[in-house]
Amino acid sequence: MFFAHMGWLLVRKHPEVKRKAYFRHYKKMVLMFWFIVPTFVPMLLWGESFVVAFYTCTLLRYCLALHGTWLINSAAHKYGYRPYNPNISPLAATAMGEGGHNYHHTFPQDYRTSEYVLHLNVTKLFIDFLILLGLAYDMKIVPQENRDDVLHRG
């Protein structure tokens, strides 16, 4: 369970991952958008004190966001069925579409994170919006027969 919750973050990154452009400026981006901006926006816009802004809008928000994200991993890996659980309802409600978290492990090439159209899936909606804007393209969807094969092999 520890590895599913947060242990995966503590393992050494593959050299190819470190070479990717995203990680070249990663530490600067984290400092700016996880700590500096969330601290100074409340101070500048609402007159909040530095201490309250830093502890509430930065540290508390950061801690809750991390553990909320890790909870999705932990619950999906503990309660999700193999090959994948098509619907973990409590996760779907809290994770804006990650209720089918194990789906993305089984079909990592499918951009949807879940196969169900009627479930709230904010991640997919956001990507669909980017497609409309022309900022995302060539999205992959696993054919139904492939999903059926995996479920029947179980």
Q: pLDDT-derived band of residue 79, with 50, 70 and 90 as boundaries?
A: low
Exposure on the CB side of residue 8, measured as CA atoms within 13 A: 9
Helices and strands counted in the chain (H then E): 11, 0
Instruction: Answer yes or no: do 88 and 25 share one domain.
Output: no
Measured in Å, how far apart are the chain's first and last C-alpha atoms?
22
Instruction: Answer yes or no: do 97 and 138 share one domain.
Output: yes
pLDDT digits 0-9 by tens, 19-47: 776 667 788 888 999 899 999 999 999 99
With H, G, I as helix, E, B as strand and everything else as coil, classify residue 150: helix
pLDDT value for 149: 81
- What are 99's two structure tokens? 């209720």
Instruction: Answer yes or no: do 111 and 128 share one domain.
Output: yes
Domain end among 38, 62, 79: 79
Q: Is the pLDDT of residue 3 over 80?
A: no
Instruction: Answer yes or no: do 74 and 87 share one domain.
Output: no
Instruction: Answer yes or no: do 60 and 104 share one domain.
Output: no
Q: pLDDT-derived band of residue 83, with 50, 70 and 90 as boundaries?
A: low
pLDDT value for 87: 55
Q: Read off the pTM.
A: 0.50
Q: Is the pLDDT of residue 62 over 80?
A: yes
Instruction: Answer yes or no: do 91 and 66 share one domain.
Output: no
Domain end among 59, 79, 99: 79
- What are 94's two structure tokens? 């809290």
Instruction: Answer yes or no: do 104 and 152 share one domain.
Output: yes
With H, G, I as helix, E, B as strand and everything else as coil, classify residue 20: coil
134: left (phi over 0), alpha (psi -120 to 50) or beta: left
Greater confidence, 152 or 59? Answer: 59
Instruction: Answer yes or no: do 65 and 111 share one domain.
Output: no
Neighbours of 121 (CB within 10 A): 23
Q: Is the pLDDT of residue 80 over 90?
A: no
pLDDT value for 113: 72
Number of domains in the chain: 2
Mean pLDDT for the chain?
78
Instruction: Answer yes or no: do 142 and 99 share one domain.
Output: yes
* Residue 55 domain boundaries: 1-79
